[in-house]
């Protein structure tokens, strides 16, 4: 075990006490050295103090991965000084600007340097022009370059127009039609193509205007779309301090108020048991409704409006709902003690967040780190994606078009870039989970909570980055490999759609593989999260932590299931309350302060709700990890100090919750423990 764990005590499970072993373990698993209760010395004081750097090799591999990514990116950037014959130089403008029928990039190649826009001929071929026509001119023509030069050289208007229409009939020219380039910059799209969309947009704007008049006396009821957007931008510009202040600050405030309310005795228990009962009653009511409906349909007189098959289908649906209601009731009865424990754990997690409020802001640091990586990654990907060779393809009646073709080396480099993104993004998430687990476990295993605060958050961050970045790299590598395989399967599935003979069979096989990979990814993420908690508490390397976490899950499967149910309800309710509370607060503040300066309150409110939802999701990620950490800390605390409540680090409220749910279980000698049901 880790350096801070001693083997001075032998822990033997008691036969008379129930253990959470719902899935049967093999004799080999039962005898596994990691499948046993914790054995520590009497000097155990919480998270490991004497740590060592774990899984350093994986961290070095991640750094090497970033180095190779940089090499690939620079090799595709002209003038970077890095050259390789295996990769071509790219130009991102080839992905943005139009490409004419000669394969020239408008505004980039020397022959069309001054012509930044692409205009489509009747054949579907494109030609570069200086500007998109703003109005229809039946005496002006846009043609292939050689024909354009020929027409421009004709001074007589009548002759030029006659010659132009001759080329139009041969589909080598086009009359100058009114176009738009506002939605698709550098592409001249005929205005008629937008007519139908504009009609739909007009009806949508009218509907929004009619249904939102109750929010504010003035609405965006102008039919001019440009003026509509100008009003939106103007309102956002005026209200942006309130949008950010209430959307972020207000949502965080509502989140802490929510956690405070849940800590009030009886409130959380009332909410959880009420929601559990509501689910049972909903299933029961659905079963009763389906049953009575089926009976009514079966007793209909001729002419019948419902067939016998429909009536039978409704009857069988009632049976399924009734069975689900009974199964739900049995599960709740069997897990009632674990649910009480889960309620206590949720309260403890809320206390931890209240003691260390700086934890809530850590996802912003993660977002900043991800953006720091994404900027060069995105630039490299643009140059790599534009390094292919343009090939002319026959589009049939639509004419010819240019397609970017890549060689095998470019394909391999593209997949490598995708893998690097997955690994890095998962690494940032994993490092955050270790950090939160370390901070929360430190809080749990501290008797005097006044010694824990935001300084604990800072020290936990330092320890996580310095000692356990390698473990985060190891765990994230496993997830990245699975996600990359999923992406490859999705790519193959897309290609398989073009194969007519075996399309259905291949699609079924690939769908099954994709579903299996999705399940594997979810299971690995769950196991990784618990392994990171083991690393945070005991300083284990990833493999050791994963093994211990696996057997810990098996020994306490019922507790973990109960916590999943309770935390799911709490986090879902929290997301709704935080988002809704911030929206209500924003409406009150904006309407009271700057409503007269706005055209409408709608745009600021929408942006505020989006920000508040993001904050609620961020808040829930931290809170959910804190709950899982508290559960593992309690299990460790219980397995180490069972029989001596004074020695346990669990708070008084958590001890009381467990005692009330499981009377008389704290018996036996200190350090002679087994997992408690």
In DSSP notation, 290-325 reads HHHHHHHHHTPPSSPSS-HHHHHHHHHHHHHHHHHH
Q: What pLDDT was estimated at residue 617?
A: 87
* Both structure tokens of 48: 């490991």
The secondary structure of residue 374, as a DSSP letter, is: H
Task: Please give the average per-residue pLDDT across 235-259, as a whole number.
Answer: 86
pLDDT band at 30 (very low <50, low <70, confident <90, very high): low
Which tens digit of pLDDT belongs to each residue from 587-632? 888 888 887 777 788 888 888 899 888 888 888 888 889 988 988 8
How many whole angstroms separate alpha carbon 181 and alpha carbon 188? 5
Is the confidence at residue 339, as pLDDT, over 80? yes
Is the confidence at residue 544, as pLDDT, over 50? yes
How many whole angstroms separate alpha carbon 493 and alpha carbon 544? 37
Is the confidence at residue 517, as pLDDT, over 90? yes
Q: Which residues contact 199 (CB under 8 A, 6 or more apart)?
A: none
pLDDT band at 526 (very low <50, low <70, confident <90, very high): very high
How many whole angstroms separate alpha carbon 59 and alpha carbon 467? 11
Lowest mean pLDDT among 135-149, 208-222, 528-542: 208-222
Task: Please give the average per-residue pLDDT across 368-374, as a whole number.
Answer: 92
pLDDT band at 37 (very low <50, low <70, confident <90, very high): low
How many whole angstroms separate alpha carbon 549 and alpha carbon 32? 13
Q: Which residues contact 396 (CB under 8 A, 6 or more apart)?
A: none
How many whole angstroms separate alpha carbon 500 and alpha carbon 514? 21
Is the confidence at residue 250, as pLDDT, over 70? yes
* Both structure tokens of 507: 């699609």
Q: What pLDDT was estimated at residue 522?
A: 93
Lowest mean pLDDT among 168-177, 385-394, 541-550, 627-636: 385-394
Q: Tokens 């990245």 correspond to what residue? A: 480
Which tens digit of pLDDT belongs to each residue from 296-318? 888 877 777 778 888 889 899 99
Q: Does residue 303 have a cis peptide bond before it, meaning omega lies within 30 degrees of 0?
A: yes
How many whole angstroms separate alpha carbon 541 and alpha carbon 428? 18
Percent of the chain with pLDDT over 70: 81
How many whole angstroms separate alpha carbon 628 and alpha carbon 563? 8
Q: What pLDDT was estimated at residue 554?
A: 85
Considering only residues 276 and 205, tell me which one the structure prediction assigns the higher pLDDT.
Answer: 276
Considering only residues 357 and 18, tell me which one the structure prediction assigns the higher pLDDT.
Answer: 357
Average pLDDT of every residue of the chain: 80
User: Distances from the Cα of 533 to the Cαs of 11, 53, 120, 360, 529, in angstroms?
Assistant: 22, 16, 59, 18, 7
Is the confidence at residue 278, as pLDDT, over 50? yes
Strands 173-176 and 179-180, by their bridges, are unpaired
Q: How far is CA 480 from the centre of its chain?
A: 15
Q: Tokens 């008797």 correspond to what residue? A: 447
pLDDT band at 14 (very low <50, low <70, confident <90, very high): very low
- Plot region of 82 (φ>0 → left; ψ -120 to 50 → alpha; else → beta): beta
Longest dimension (CA), the chain: 111
Considering only residues 290 and 393, tell me which one the structure prediction assigns the higher pLDDT.
Answer: 290
Q: What pLDDT was estimated at residue 502?
A: 63
How many whole angstroms separate alpha carbon 346 and alpha carbon 353? 11
Q: What pLDDT was estimated at residue 29?
A: 55
Strands 126-129 and 137-143, by their bridges, are unpaired
Q: What pLDDT was estimated at residue 325?
A: 93
Q: Phi and psi of 301, rounded to 5°?
A: -85, 160
Considering only residues 174 and 205, tell me which one the structure prediction assigns the higher pLDDT.
Answer: 174
How many whole angstroms separate alpha carbon 131 and alpha carbon 496? 41
Q: Interior CA angle at 163 toward 160 and 167, to 5°?
A: 130
* Both structure tokens of 12: 């033997």
Which tens digit of pLDDT belongs to each residue from 659-671? 665 554 433 333 3
CB 236 within 8 A of CB 603: yes
Q: How far is CA 440 from the centre of its chain?
A: 24
How many whole angstroms separate alpha carbon 10 and alpha carbon 31? 15
24 CB neighbour count, 10 Å cutoff: 8
How many whole angstroms separate alpha carbon 434 and alpha carbon 441? 10
The secondary structure of residue 361, as a DSSP letter, is: G
The secondary structure of residue 556, as a DSSP letter, is: B
Q: Phi and psi of 77, rounded to 5°?
A: -100, 120
Q: Tokens 């390094």 correspond to what residue? A: 387
Q: Which residues face 401 on adjacent strands?
A: 393
Is the confidence at residue 504, as pLDDT, over 60? yes
How many whole angstroms separate alpha carbon 292 and alpha carbon 497? 45
Helix axes 251-262, 557-593, angle to 10 degrees: 130
Q: What pLDDT was estimated at residue 461?
A: 93
Q: What pLDDT was estimated at residue 10?
A: 34
Is the confidence at residue 1, as pLDDT, over 50? no
Q: Which residues contact 403 (CB under 8 A, 6 or more apart)?
A: 390, 391, 392, 393
User: What kind and span of H or E run contains 239?
Assistant: helix 225-244
How many whole angstroms separate alpha carbon 182 and alpha carbon 193? 13
Handedness of CA 383, 388, 389, 390 (dihedral sign): negative
* Both structure tokens of 279: 């689910």
CB 48 within 8 A of CB 537: yes
Helix axes 336-355, 652-661, angle to 10 degrees: 170
Q: What pLDDT was estimated at residue 212?
A: 42
Q: Which residues face 556 on adjacent strands?
A: 20
Considering only residues 502 and 343, tell me which one the structure prediction assigns the higher pLDDT.
Answer: 343
Coil vs helix vs strand at 141: strand
How many whole angstroms separate alpha carbon 152 and alpha carbon 161? 11
180 CB neighbour count, 10 Å cutoff: 16
User: Rounded to a whole number, what is the distance in angstroms from the first to the last CA of the chain?
Assistant: 25
Lowest mean pLDDT among 227-231, 468-472, 663-667: 663-667
Number of H helices, E strands in the chain: 19, 8
Strands 117-120 and 187-190, by their bridges, are parallel
How many whole angstroms separate alpha carbon 598 and alpha carbon 596? 6
Is the confidence at residue 209, as pLDDT, over 90? no
How many whole angstroms separate alpha carbon 20 and alpha carbon 42? 26
Task: Please give the average per-residue pLDDT across 242-247, as a whole number.
Answer: 87
Which tens digit of pLDDT belongs to each residue from 411-446? 999 999 999 999 999 999 999 999 999 999 999 888
* Both structure tokens of 187: 């592409």
Rg (CA), the chain: 33
């Amino acid at each position: 075990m880790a350096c801070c764990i001693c083997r001075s005590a032998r822990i033997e499970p008691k036969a008379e006490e129930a253990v959470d072993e719902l899935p049967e373990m093999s004799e080999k698993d039962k005898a596994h050295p990691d499948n046993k209760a914790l054995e520590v010395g009497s000097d155990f004081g919480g998270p490991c103090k004497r740590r060592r750097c774990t899984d350093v090799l994986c961290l070095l591999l991640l750094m090497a991965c970033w180095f190779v990514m940089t090499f690939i990116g620079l090799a595709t950037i002209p003038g970077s000084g890095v050259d390789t014959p295996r990769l071509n130089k790219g130009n991102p403008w080839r992905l943005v600007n139009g490409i004419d029928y000669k394969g020239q990039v408008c505004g980039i190649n020397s022959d069309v340097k001054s012509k930044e826009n692409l205009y489509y001929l009747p054949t579907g071929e494109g030609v570069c022009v200086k500007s998109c026509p703003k109005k229809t001119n039946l005496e002006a023509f846009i043609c292939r370059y050689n024909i354009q030069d020929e027409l421009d050289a004709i001074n007589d208007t009548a002759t030029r127009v006659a010659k132009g229409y001759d080329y139009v009939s041969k589909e080598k020219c086009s009359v100058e039609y009114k176009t738009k380039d506002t939605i698709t910059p550098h592409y001249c799209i005929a205005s008629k193509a937008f007519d139908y969309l504009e009609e739909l947009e007009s009806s949508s704007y009218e509907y929004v205007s009619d249904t939102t008049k109750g929010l504010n006396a003035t609405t965006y009821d102008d039919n001019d779309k440009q003026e509509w957007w100008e009003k939106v931008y103007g309102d956002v510009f005026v209200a942006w301090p309130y949008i950010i202040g209430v959307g972020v600050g207000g949502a965080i405030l509502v989140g802490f108020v929510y956690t405070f309310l849940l800590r009030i005795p009886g409130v959380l228990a009332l909410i959880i048991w009420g929601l559990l009962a509501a689910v049972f009653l909903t299933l029961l009511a659905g079963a009763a409704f389906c049953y009575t409906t089926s009976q009514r349909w079966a007793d209909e007189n001729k002419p019948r409006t419902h067939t016998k098959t429909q009536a039978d289908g409704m009857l069988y649906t009632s049976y399924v709902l009734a069975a689900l209601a009974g199964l739900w009731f049995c599960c709740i009865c069997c897990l009632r003690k674990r649910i009480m424990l889960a309620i206590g754990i949720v309260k403890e997690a809320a206390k931890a967040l209240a003691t260390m409020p700086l934890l809530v802001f850590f996802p912003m640091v993660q977002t900043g780190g991800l953006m720091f990586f994404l900027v060069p990654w995105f630039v490299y990907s643009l140059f790599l994606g534009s390094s292919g060779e343009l090939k002319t393809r026959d589009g049939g009646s639509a004419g010819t078009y240019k397609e970017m073709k890549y060689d095998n080396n470019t394909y391999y480099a593209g997949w490598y870039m995708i893998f690097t993104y997955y690994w890095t993004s998962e690494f940032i998430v994993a490092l955050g989970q270790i950090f939160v687990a370390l901070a929360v476990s430190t809080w749990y295993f501290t008797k005097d909570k006044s010694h824990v605060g935001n300084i604990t958050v800072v020290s936990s961050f330092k320890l996580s980055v310095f000692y356990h970045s390698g473990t985060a790299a190891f765990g994230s590598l496993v997830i990245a490999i699975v996600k990359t395989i999923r992406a490859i399967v999705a790519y193959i599935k897309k290609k398989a759609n073009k194969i007519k003979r075996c399309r259905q069979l291949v699609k079924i096989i690939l769908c099954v593989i994709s579903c299996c990979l999705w399940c594997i990814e979810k299971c690995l993420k769950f196991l990784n999260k618990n392994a990171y908690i083991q690393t945070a508490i005991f300083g284990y390397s990833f493999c050791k932590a994963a093994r211990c976490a696996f057997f810990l899950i098996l020994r306490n499967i019922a507790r973990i299931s109960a916590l999943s149910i309770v935390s799911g309800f709490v986090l879902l309710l929290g997301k709704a309350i935080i988002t809704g509370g911030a929206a209500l607060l924003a409406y009150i503040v904006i309407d009271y302060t700057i409503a007269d300066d706005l055209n409408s309150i709608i745009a600021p409110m929408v942006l505020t709700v989006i920000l508040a939802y993001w904050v609620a999701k961020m808040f829930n990620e931290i809170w959910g990890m804190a709950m899982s950490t508290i559960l593992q800390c309690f299990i460790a605390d219980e397995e180490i100090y069972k029989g001596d409540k004074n020695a346990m680090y669990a708070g008084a409220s958590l001890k009381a919750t467990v005692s009330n749910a499981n009377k008389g279980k704290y018996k036996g000698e200190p350090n002679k423990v087994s997992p408690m049901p």
